[in-house]
């Protein structure tokens, strides 16, 4: 349990004992991620609002590590970021305040999930060869794939059978995949498992935004898409990667190494120490990030102004050192936040101090999050992924 409210953590712990679980309690995001790696628990119950970092950073670190990604993570939080958490692999989301009955149902659901061996995937695809290729990619002794070649067959299956995940092509003979998803979301009599859209179509911005309301993941078919599909399905099925056949294990490792959340993104590193610039570049560039550099706050504001004039590509995220000459990071962040156009630009402050007061100062100046130096590489990548605009 990763929960910073001692009273609520005690309630959760007592209920978990009643259901038959042993408990570990972490009060911070960093402690939660560390305990998950150290003890490999059967499940994690996670709050989103933690004193050091968002709960999404714990979820990301658990799901990016091959040793822990199979662990089911259930969110219990007052923060309404259920879409981001479910898309990142959480099994469920309860909003605080939450009733005792809902908590017991959650714990019993986690227990049932642990006992379930066979996972079922519904593959909705009208091309028989493509459906067979997906079956060959996903099926193991613990995963059964069931094919549906039309929207009507999909609806019939979901009305009578239970599935852990659905892989959906958008081009169906009797109904578009988007219309099918909207129909499923509006009919409580039908099961609606996590959906991975697997399509050969280039999507318009509007189509993608509509799909994001229903789909956990969107994969465009191509040379590298099978490994991404296997990676996403294994994530939502909570498969233990080390138990998979060697070929599947290698595909997942390749997919995790490429990091689709960061590939092609532009990050502005604002840092005056050239050693730190080299270190950050060495961490980010292998993940496909284009790193741009400013040596102080004045240069950072100039770089942002150039992108707004259309002279450079837009910046997706800023890593901001706090202690710099000419204009320090706190002053620079305040200047950035004065411009309404920059309100949504994610900023992660890099501070040499680990004091809570310094961290609070960064957040008040406009940072979304912070990292203390010396930088922890896993934590840095996790926070960059969490705050990167989707």
| 247-264 pLDDT per residue, tens | 888 888 877 777 778 888
The chain-wide mean pLDDT, for the chain, equals 89
- On the question of pLDDT at 267 being above 80, the answer is yes
Across the range 52-58, mean pLDDT stands at: 90
- On the question of pLDDT at 313 being above 80, the answer is yes
Token pair 């988007």: residue: 178
Task: Report yes or no: 264 and 314 within 8 Å, Cβ to Cβ.
Answer: no
Whole-number Å distance between alpha carbons of 242 and 182: 36
User: What local confidence, expressed as pLDDT, does residue 284 receive?
Assistant: 92
* Tokens read off for 305: 């102004």
- On the question of pLDDT at 354 being above 70, the answer is no
- Supply the DSSP symbol for 314: P
Least confident of 86-90, 266-270, 273-277, 288-292: 86-90
Neighbours of 117 (CB within 10 A): 7
Across the range 222-235, mean pLDDT stands at: 82
Structural domains present in the chain: 6-115 (3.40.50.2300), 119-257 (3.40.50.2300), 266-387 (3.40.50.2300)
Task: Report yes or no: 329 and 320 within 8 Å, Cβ to Cβ.
Answer: yes
Across the range 206-229, mean pLDDT stands at: 79
Whole-number Å distance between alpha carbons of 58 and 56: 5
Three-class DSSP category at 240: coil
Task: Report yes or no: 242 and 249 within 8 Å, Cβ to Cβ.
Answer: yes
Q: Which residue has the higher pLDDT, 22 or 357?
A: 22
Across the range 66-82, mean pLDDT stands at: 88
Whole-number Å distance between alpha carbons of 38 and 366: 34
């Amino acid at each position: 349990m990763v929960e910073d409210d001692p009273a609520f953590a005690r309630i959760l712990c007592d209920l978990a004992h009643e259901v038959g679980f042993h408990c570990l309690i972490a009060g911070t995001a960093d402690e939660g991620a560390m305990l998950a790696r150290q003890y490999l628990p059967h499940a994690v119950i996670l709050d989103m609002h933690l004193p050091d970092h968002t709960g999404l950073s714990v979820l990301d670190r658990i799901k990016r590590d091959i040793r822990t990604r199979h662990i089911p993570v259930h969110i219990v939080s007052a923060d309404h970021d259920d879409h981001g958490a479910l898309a990142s692999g959480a099994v469920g989301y309860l909003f605080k305040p939450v009733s005792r009955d809902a908590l017991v149902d959650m714990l019993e659901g986690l227990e049932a999930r642990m006992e379930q061996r066979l996972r079922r995937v519904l593959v909705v695809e009208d091309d028989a060869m493509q459906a067979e290729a997906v079956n060959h990619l996903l099926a193991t002794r613990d995963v059964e794939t069931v094919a549906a070649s039309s929207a009507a067959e999909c609806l019939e299956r979901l009305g009578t059978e239970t599935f852990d995940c659905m892989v959906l092509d958008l081009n169906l003979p009797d109904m578009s995949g988007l219309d099918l998803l909207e129909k499923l979301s509006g009919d409580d009599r039908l099961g609606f498992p996590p959906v991975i859209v697997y399509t050969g179509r280039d999507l318009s911005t509007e189509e993608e935004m509509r799909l994001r309301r229903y789909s956990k993941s969107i994969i465009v078919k191509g040379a590298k898409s099978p490994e991404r599909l296997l990676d996403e399905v294994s994530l939502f099925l909570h498969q233990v990667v080390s138990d998979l056949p060697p070929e599947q294990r290698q595909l997942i490792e390749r997919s995790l190494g490429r990091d689709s959340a960061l590939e092609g993104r532009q990050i502005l590193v604002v840092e005056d120490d050239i050693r730190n610039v080299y270190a950050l570049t060495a961490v980010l560039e292998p993940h496909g990030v284009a790193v741009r550099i400013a040596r102080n706050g004045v240069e950072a504001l100039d770089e942002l102004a150039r992108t707004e004039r259309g002279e450079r590509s837009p910046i997706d995220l800023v890593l901001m050192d706090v202690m710099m000459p000419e204009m320090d990071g706190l002053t620079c962040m305040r200047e950035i936040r004065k411009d309404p156009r920059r309100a949504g630009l994610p900023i992660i402050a890099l501070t040499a101090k680990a004091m809570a007061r310094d961290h609070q100062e960064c957040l008040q100046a406009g940072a979304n999050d912070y990292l203390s130096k010396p930088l922890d590489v896993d934590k840095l990548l996790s926070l960059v992924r969490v705050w990167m605009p989707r």
